[in-house]
Amino acid sequence: MKKWFTLLTLALFALALTACGGGAPEKKASAPLKGRALVVYYSRADENSGVGYIEKGNTKILAEFIAKATGADMFEIVPAKPYPKQYKAATEVAKKEKEENARPEIVGTMPDVSKYDVIFFGYPIWWHDLPMVCYTFFDKVKLEGKTVAPFCTHEGSGLSDTDRFIAKTTGATVTEALEMYGTKAQNWKDEAKQETLAWLKKIGYEK
Ligand SMILES: Cc1cc2nc3c(=O)[nH]c(=O)nc-3n(C[C@H](O)[C@H](O)[C@H](O)COP(=O)(O)O)c2cc1C
């Protein structure tokens, strides 16, 4: 009887430990970020969800805040084949690309990341993932050994685990991400800027 009681107590204790978050630790940067930084981003203008036709993509607005605040260089990922200007048509093209695990071509020469320690990486959430053109970038530019600070805009899906996708795909150390509604970035720029600066401070970035 006593033995069963002891075994039951041990089993309950083990269960409690598992419930308290036993899973594999996530790869996060802990030390303050330092060194030369590059902002890499993909962002689409034209018609989008909640904002109508826009001249500057939502993520691009955040990319510019980050570059200005940190003095980082910038690299824009430009797909060789532009997406349709209409929102619905663009979602259909993007859906097909995701289903096919496509790697859309990028215009121009990729940046030489050997000069940088920190890569701020910006993207919109597309179908609960990064746009496939971002994976083209990861195929071409090796980010292992770098620190990647992800930032994204979306219309309700949040990060959708994309920070983990980036860590898994690149092998980089990934910091806490910034995620923001695209409508906020586009329509409430002061608030969006303050939030972006607070995130930079939180992840320990200093110029
Ligand atoms: C092709 C496509 C797919 C999208 N999929 C999602 C989605 O799965 N979840 C979501 O919250 N928003 C989704 N959105 C909305 C965008 O993430 C949002 O509007 C974002 O701010 C766009 O950023 P950008 O202007 O920098 O491209 C999608 C938009 C497009 C064009």
pLDDT tens-digit series, residues 122-158 = 999 999 999 999 999 999 999 999 999 999 999 999 9
Mind listing the pLDDT tens digit for each residue in 61-98? 999 999 999 999 999 999 999 999 999 999 999 999 99
Atom in ligand 1 nearest the alpha carbon of residue 87: 31
Higher pLDDT, 19 or 134: 134
Domain tally for the chain? 1
Decide if 185 is inside a domain. yes
Looking at ligand 1, which residue's alpha carbon is closest to its atom 21? 182
Decide if 15 is inside a domain. no
Decide if 9 is inside a domain. no
Contact 141, 170 (CB under 8 A): no
Decide if 62 is inside a domain. yes
Mind listing the pLDDT tens digit for each residue in 21-39? 333 434 555 566 777 999 9
Give the pLDDT score at 160.
Answer: 98
What domain range includes position 114?
A: 36-202
End-to-end CA distance of the chain: 65
pLDDT at residue 9 greater than cutoff 60: no
Contact 148, 173 (CB under 8 A): yes
Decide if 113 is inside a domain. yes
Phi, psi of 162 (to 5 degrees): -65, -25
Distance CA 188, CA 116 (A): 31
CA of 50 relative to ligand 1 center, distance in Å: 10
Decide if 4 is inside a domain. no
Give the pLDDT score at 14.
Answer: 43
Decide if 8 is inside a domain. no
Domain with residue 193: its CATH number is: 3.40.50.360
Atom in ligand 1 nearest the alpha carbon of residue 44: 27
Decide if 139 is inside a domain. yes
Contact 113, 141 (CB under 8 A): yes
pTM across the whole model: 0.87
Mind listing the pLDDT tens digit for each residue in 157-202? 999 999 999 999 999 999 999 999 999 999 999 999 999 999 999 9
Higher pLDDT, 25 or 101: 101
